[in-house]
Amino acid sequence: MAEERTELEERIIIKDQHIKEIDLVNRDPKHINEDVVKVDFEDVIAEPVGTYSFDGVWKASYTTFTVSKYWCYRLLSAILGIPLAVIWGFLFALISFCHIWAVVPCIKSYLIEIQCVSRIYSLCIHTFCDPLFEALSKICSNIRVAFRKEI
């Protein structure tokens, strides 16, 4: 009985990885659009002191702007939201696929190959350059530089 429960729990855990509950109240929990799309009436239309329109026109303009922005966004998201979600889902799936199946294996292969090349390069440097620089250092070790001030 205990084995059946753990198997059932494993199935539920696996199912939960693919199904995530979304928050319908806070739809931007990571605040990725905080500074970008907050456009209110006051951000777009403003009347300086001395050039005011009628109060009724100002109130009607505010209401028209706010309601039309709200309903246009809702209409556009209803019409284009799901198709664009499919396109973005496909795009990010493609990027993930390429990263997992192409980029990371290429990088790992490069690192393995460069490690071999690095060892050969290091061996060549130690074989050819170390004796040369050691000989040059012995030649130059007896050079003395003296500064004299001539009057």
| Residue that the structure tokens 């090349």 belong to | 117
pTM: 0.56
Q: Is the pLDDT of residue 90 over 70?
A: yes
Poorest-confidence range of 26-35, 45-54, 77-86? 26-35
Q: Which residues of 52-68 are buried (b: 16+ CB within 10 A; e: fewer)?
A: eeeeeeeeeeeeebeee
- Tens digit of each residue's pLDDT (9 = 90 or more) over 97-123: 999 999 999 999 999 999 989 999 999
E strand map for 33-133: none
- Tens digit of each residue's pLDDT (9 = 90 or more) over 66-85: 999 999 999 999 999 999 99
Band (pLDDT 50/70/90 cuts) for residue 7 is low
Q: Is the pLDDT of residue 5 over 80?
A: no
Task: Say if residues 41 and 66 touch (Cβ distance below 8 Å).
Answer: yes
Distance of CA 41 to the CA centre of its chain: 32
Distance of alpha carbon 38 from alpha carbon 85, whole angstroms: 22
Query: Quick one: pLDDT at residue 29?
Result: 81
